[in-house]
Amino acid sequence: MITETFKRHAAKTLPDFIFPVSAILSPSPSVDPHNLCNQIQMPQTKTSPKLHQETTVIKSAIISRLIVLTLILLWRTLLSPYDTSAPINPNCLSNNSSQPNVDLQQQHVLLPSLGSAIESSIVWDSVYFVRIAQCGYEYEQTYAFFPLLPLCISLLSRTVLAPLVPVIGQRAVLGLSGFVINNIAFVFVAVYLYRLSVVILKDHEAALRASILFCFNPASIFYSSIYSETLYALFSVGGLYHLISGKDVIAVLWFALSGFSRSNGILNAGYFCFQTMHQAYDAVFLRKRAFVVVGGALRCICIFVPFVAFQAYGYNNICLGHLPNNMSPWCKARVPLLYNYIQSHYWGVGFLRYFQVKQLPNFLLASPILSLTLWSIVHYAKLKPEIFFSLGFCAPPECKDSAAVFFSLAGNSSNSQENSNLKARKQVIKDGTSLLPEEYKLSAKQGYLSAAVLPCILHLGFMAATAFFVMHVEVATRFLSFSPPLYWFASYIMKSPGTGKRWGYIVWAYSAAYILLGSLLFSNFYPFT
């Protein structure tokens, strides 16, 4: 009797994968009591789908960078560059520069041919970034390029890669630093995009497809060159991930760094504006906490600080200490904005200023990315009009709760219900999927059409309108290439019943064509986006 009671208790409390209780307490003739180790079933370790897919994303990002860099080397070897001025590097204007004389330096380089090959790959805007890292801001037009990438290049070239200076030369080390920074940063962008996609879409497969599409995006050449797109994408996508994860302080810091990388980083403040707008609605109409508006305003101000500080830095260097007659026109403006003046004066950027017949080829070059953007926005607005046109205010409560970081639930809920919702939200943020209450299962399966995508759609729409009406339109390919909704929508249509396979071919053909075309033209100093 005692033995039977012990057996029943042991069977309930000790899982069989830890120890074969039944084999010990009731050994059968076929079981050898002296060989029980063979009967023990060790626990099976299972790799989570998220970890496995994240590894796939990392491998895809690395492979894509290797492919792009290989194409650059191939085209540079087979073809002659259109502009051969890339290796030209005059001495810095500043007498206080710590950089050695260029001519003397080149005489003592151990591998001049390797250094020359690296320097010849510094083309287009890369010339400005490397020059700023080497000599600082020497000319007015150089202030169009924000300082985060040059600072990183300068830091890496003076520390980790400093021993290579006698081998390939100072400027080659600066260029190599830029390539290393951007290609490594790209891998982190892909990982953050995957994590963000899992949280937003709540679909691991869709997140994986979107992330791999980003790894082979049409603007890939710029993410492997010395351009600021990579760092901007890292801090924009990473900041959005931290925001959706509830880490507001980290999100503010990352968004601020995106504004230190590119001017359009200040647009990331729009996410906090959207969040504050909905929280203000609760504060005013539902009589909840009113200080959320102040908190949202402070977060936006912090994101604007790098942009404003850089404009002040330019004003101090260019305008102060000069007579009014010798000042640049923007110095005497009521609101002296250096960046706007440079874009208008040196590059002809302005509203509808690019709408010329001779620019039609550039509009055609940008048409694929703009068409995909327009389609993604229209498709969302058509299928979710109550969410899109009301800016989320008329979204169902369960949709708002699935994106609770951006939205606030209307109405009064009991404490138990609020606790239940909070636990569900935490699980969603952690895994991307969760054991949601029944009323939230529908919103969790909506993927691209979920309410959480709305702020990203609005952000994408504003940037696309700016690219089309104000900027040099061909820049739209790289200007919009970091935007997550593009890859979420492409992933979404690739699984559409009936037409998904066809759209998959089109999307991949577009990406492959622009990767080949971009690596061919851009690396040889021919005009691309």
Render pLDDT for 181-190 as a digit per residue (tens, 0 to 9): 999 999 999 9
State the number of CA atoms in the 13 A half-sphere of 418 facing the CB.
Answer: 8
What pLDDT is attached to residue 405? 81
Stretch 92-110: mean pLDDT: 63
Please give the structure tokens belonging to residue 11. Answer: 């069977």
140, with CB counted inside 10 A (0-12, 13-18, 19+), is middle
What pLDDT is attached to residue 34? 42
Q: For the chain, how far is it from start to end, CA to CA, in angstroms?
A: 84
Stretch 99-110: mean pLDDT: 62
Residue 189 Cα distances to 193, 214, 232, 325, 389, angstroms: 6, 9, 9, 47, 31
Percent of the chain with pLDDT over 70: 79
Question: Which one is predicted more confidently, 498 or 384?
Answer: 384
pLDDT-wise least confident of 35-39, 72-76, 221-225, 393-397: 35-39
Stretch 252-261: mean pLDDT: 97
pLDDT-wise least confident of 48-62, 89-103, 199-213: 89-103
- CA–CA separation, 16 and 29 (whole Å): 20
Q: Say how many C-beta atoms besides its own lie within 10 A of residue 439's C-beta.
A: 11
Question: Which one is predicted more confidently, 87 or 238?
Answer: 238
What pLDDT is attached to residue 56? 96
What pLDDT is attached to residue 50? 74
Stretch 463-474: mean pLDDT: 96
Question: Does residue 505 carry a pLDDT above 70?
Answer: yes
- pLDDT tens by residue, 333-344: 989 999 999 999
- pLDDT tens by residue, 432-448: 444 444 444 444 457 89
Question: Which one is predicted more confidently, 291 or 385?
Answer: 385
What pLDDT is attached to residue 414? 35
Contacting residues for 308 by C-beta, under 8 A, at least 6 apart: none
Alpha helix ranges (H) inside 384-452? 385-388, 397-402, 415-431, 441-444
Contacting residues for 213 by C-beta, under 8 A, at least 6 apart: 487, 490, 491, 507, 511
What pLDDT is attached to residue 105? 55
Stretch 493-499: mean pLDDT: 88
Residue 450 Cα distances to 126, 202, 516, angstroms: 39, 10, 35
What pLDDT is attached to residue 415? 37
Give yes or no for a contact between 300 and 269, defined as CB atoms under 8 angstroms apart.
Answer: yes
What pLDDT is attached to residue 200? 94
Residue 273 Cα distances to 221, 242, 259, 277, 457, angstroms: 33, 16, 16, 6, 14
What pLDDT is attached to residue 496? 85
Calculate the CA 437 to chain-centre distance: 32
- CA–CA separation, 31 and 25 (whole Å): 12
What's the pLDDT band for 408 if we cut at 50, 70, 90? Answer: low
Contacting residues for 36 by C-beta, under 8 A, at least 6 apart: 20, 23, 24
CA-closest candidate to residue 388, choices 450, 442, 443, 466 = 450
Alpha helix ranges (H) inside 159-228? 165-168, 170-201, 204-215, 220-223
Residue 377 Cα distances to 138, 149, 457, angstroms: 42, 32, 6
Please give the structure tokens belonging to residue 435. Answer: 């054991």
Phi then psi for 467, rounded to 5 degrees?
A: -65, -40
What pLDDT is attached to residue 323? 81
445, with CB counted inside 10 A (0-12, 13-18, 19+), is middle
How much is the pTM? 0.84
What average pLDDT is seen over the chain?
Answer: 84
Question: Which one is predicted more confidently, 233 or 289?
Answer: 233
User: Which single residue is written with the structure tokens 């076929």?
Assistant: 30
Percent of the chain with pLDDT over 90: 63
Give yes or no for a contact between 483 and 460, defined as CB atoms under 8 angstroms apart.
Answer: yes
Stretch 160-186: mean pLDDT: 96
Phi then psi for 382, rounded to 5 degrees?
A: -70, -40
Please give the structure tokens belonging to residue 274. Answer: 């959207």
Question: Does residue 31 carry a pLDDT above 90?
Answer: no
What's the pLDDT band for 287 if we cut at 50, 70, 90? Answer: low
Stretch 366-391: mean pLDDT: 96
What pLDDT is attached to residue 86? 66
What pLDDT is attached to residue 407? 75
Question: Which one is predicted more confidently, 316 or 324?
Answer: 316
Q: What is the DSSP letter of 47?
A: -
